[in-house]
């Protein structure tokens, strides 16, 4: 097989890549010219045959999503770029925008042309102050050059792009919560169906795509669907950017064909585990995807392949834990994140993430009971597929998968009354030191049966 040449990151070494001049110098906006000479339906067909699947987590076929947009409703059609990127471990959208923003702008214009949209939005994560500025600059340059606005390149096609900055909420990456937020309401998910393709922004047909998904589009139009489909493995075509972090020597974003093995990404691209240690566990697609272990390193990073291994490809974000890491501690941190970010709309998610955190914390601190392990699984079962959106399912993933592979580590915490990977439990020690020994005193003043988390009392 021919050696893989970077596609999405090809311009990353070029200091001018973020400017219009640098982008055009390297073939930028040629795909748009080509697309504008095609029938919109033919553009959709090309994206369909490329096999491109959404990179935002669910892996839905992009061309198929575009083809769902009805054109006879009398309502406007909207395109929304999802640049909320908040899944722990995921950072490829940010770098794509910082280093090559026009690639996304061009992809979004082609998408808008294909679905006959006249107004597109980019929903930018609140914390992305600098990337948002880079993108704003690129959008302004595109207007000035006639790639946006009225009668784009003399084609008769008009498009406005509006960048909207969020306020920093994970839930606003979920497509229907994002739409609520964009409309000015509290970011909470909507019941589906109807799906956004039918009733999205302002109850109008709407396409929502991830930054990396749309960044693939100019290349598909430029080099053809067949070329794109020739990269990758099985039903996961094209290149992908894998975010690798945690205990690796070279954390970062690495572009590789979809279907590259986890081993190649962790041991090859990311330089292997630090200090010569071994992989203990890793997430294939951010912290909301079930953990896998060293046994799974030869799994191909494709949608179906990772699913067959018992997890999900998600956002292709690999957080690597090594043998020195406490899985219970890592899972507690993930769970605290989901409890904090649960929007509160659905009871199973709002209550479940809160209780999971509470039970996990006591196990991690050495105050757990053996029944707590089964209790967490029961709570998980009462959350799975019982909420408006997948936040709750994502919160259950790390707990369920870690109990599946590392149950003995949970049991050790209970048996020893501390983390087996540490001599003492530093959290309890530190908390006790800060409180000047109030732990015991506190127990005396509290009525029996009332349990107070040290963190809650000690701040």
Binder of ligand FMN out of 132, 173, 218, 285 (CB under 6 A): 173
Minimum CB distance to ligand FMN smaller for 125 or for 418? 125
Minimum CB distance to ligand FMN smaller for 217 or for 279? 217
Sequence-separated (6 or more) residues with CB below 8 Å from residue 425: 365, 366, 417, 418, 419
* Contact stretch for ligand FMN (CB under 6 A) within 81-89, 114-122, 218-226, 441-449: 81-89
* Contact stretch for ligand FMN (CB under 6 A) within 78-86, 250-258, 322-330, 420-428: 78-86
Q: Where are the alpha helices (DSSP H) in 288-436?
A: 303-308, 327-341, 347-364, 371-381, 391-416, 426-434
208 binding ligand FMN? (CB under 6 A): yes
Look at residues 199, 198, 117 and name the one whose alpha carbon lies nearest to residue 161. 117
Give the CA count within 13 Å in the CB-facing half-sphere of 391.
35
Binder of ligand FMN out of 92, 188, 213, 357 (CB under 6 A): 213
Look at residues 317, 247, 299, 277 and name the one whose alpha carbon lies nearest to residue 90. 317
372-401: contacts with ligand FMN (CB under 6 A): 389-391
86 binding ligand FMN? (CB under 6 A): yes
The nearest distance, CB 331 to ligand FMN, in angstroms, is 18
Q: Where are the alpha helices (DSSP H) in 145-255?
A: 175-182, 211-223, 225-229
* Contact stretch for ligand FMN (CB under 6 A) within 205-213, 245-253, 326-334, 359-367: 205-213
Look at residues 362, 351, 455 and name the one whose alpha carbon lies nearest to residue 410. 362
DSSP label at residue 278? P
54 binding ligand FMN? (CB under 6 A): yes
CA atoms of 186 and 213, how far apart (whole Å): 26
Minimum CB distance to ligand FMN smaller for 92 or for 425? 92
* Contact stretch for ligand FMN (CB under 6 A) within 50-58, 132-140, 328-336, 406-414: 50-58
The nearest distance, CB 426 to ligand FMN, in angstroms, is 32
Would you give the binding string for ligand FMN spanning residues 58-77, x where CB under 6 A is met? x-x-----------------
130 binding ligand FMN? (CB under 6 A): no
56 binding ligand FMN? (CB under 6 A): yes
Look at residues 215, 170, 192, 213 and name the one whose alpha carbon lies nearest to residue 336. 170
CA dihedral sign, ordered 128, 129, 130, 135: positive
Binding residues for ligand FMN (CB under 6 A): 54-58, 60, 82, 84-87, 170-171, 173-175, 208-210, 213, 389-391
């Amino acid at each position: 097989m021919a050696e893989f040449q970077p596609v999405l990151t090809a311009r990353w070494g070029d200091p001018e890549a973020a400017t219009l001049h640098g982008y055009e110098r390297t073939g930028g906006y040629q795909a748009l010219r080509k697309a504008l000479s095609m029938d919109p339906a033919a553009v959709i067909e090309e994206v369909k045959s490329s096999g491109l699947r959404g990179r935002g987590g669910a892996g839905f076929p992009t061309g198929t999503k575009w083809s769902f947009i009805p054109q006879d409703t009398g309502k406007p059609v909207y395109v929304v770029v999802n640049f909320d990127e908040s899944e722990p471990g995921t950072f490829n959208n940010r770098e794509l925008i910082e280093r090559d923003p026009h690639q996304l702008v061009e992809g979004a214009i082609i998408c808008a042309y294909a679905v006959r949209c006249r107004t597109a939005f980019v929903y930018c994560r609140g914390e992305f102050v600098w990337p948002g500025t880079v993108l704003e600059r690129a959008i302004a340059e595109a207007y000035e050059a006639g790639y946006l606005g009225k009668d784009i390149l003399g084609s008769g096609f008009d498009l406005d792009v509006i960048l909207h900055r969020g306020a920093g909420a994970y839930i606003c990456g979920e497509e229907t919560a994002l739409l609520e937020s964009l409309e000015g309401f509290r970011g909470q998910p909507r019941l589906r169906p109807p799906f956004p393709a039918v009733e999205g922004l302002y109850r109008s047909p709407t396409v929502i795509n991830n930054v990396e998904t749309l960044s693939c589009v100019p290349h598909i139009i430029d080099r053809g669907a067949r070329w794109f489909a020739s990269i990758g493995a099985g039903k996961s075509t094209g290149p992908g950017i894998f975010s690798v972090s945690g205990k690796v020597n070279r954390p970062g974003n690495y572009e590789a064909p979809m279907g590259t093995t986890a081993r190649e990404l962790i041991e090859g691209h990311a330089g292997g585990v630090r200090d010569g240690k071994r992989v203990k566990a890793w997430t294939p697609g951010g912290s909301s995807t079930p953990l896998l272990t060293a046994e799974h390193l030869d799994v191909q990073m494709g949608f179906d392949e990772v699913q067959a291994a018992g997890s999900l490809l998600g956002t292709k974000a690999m957080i690597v834990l090594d043998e020195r890491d406490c899985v219970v501690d890592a899972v507690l941190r993930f769970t605290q994140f989901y409890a904090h970010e649960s929007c509160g709309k659905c009871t199973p998610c709002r209550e479940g993430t809160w209780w999971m955190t509470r039970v996990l914390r006591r196990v991690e601190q050495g105050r757990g009971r053996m029944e707590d392990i089964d209790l967490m699984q029961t709570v998980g079962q009462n959350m799975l597929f019982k909420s408006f959106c997948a936040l709750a399912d994502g919160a259950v993933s790390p707990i369920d998968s870690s109990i599946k592979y590392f149950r003995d580590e949970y049991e050790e915490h209970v048996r020893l009354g501390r983390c087996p990977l540490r001599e003492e439990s530093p959290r309890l020690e530190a908390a006790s030191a800060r409180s000047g020994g109030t732990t015991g005193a506190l127990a005396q003043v509290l009525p029996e049966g009332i349990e107070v988390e040290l963190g809650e009392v000690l701040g």
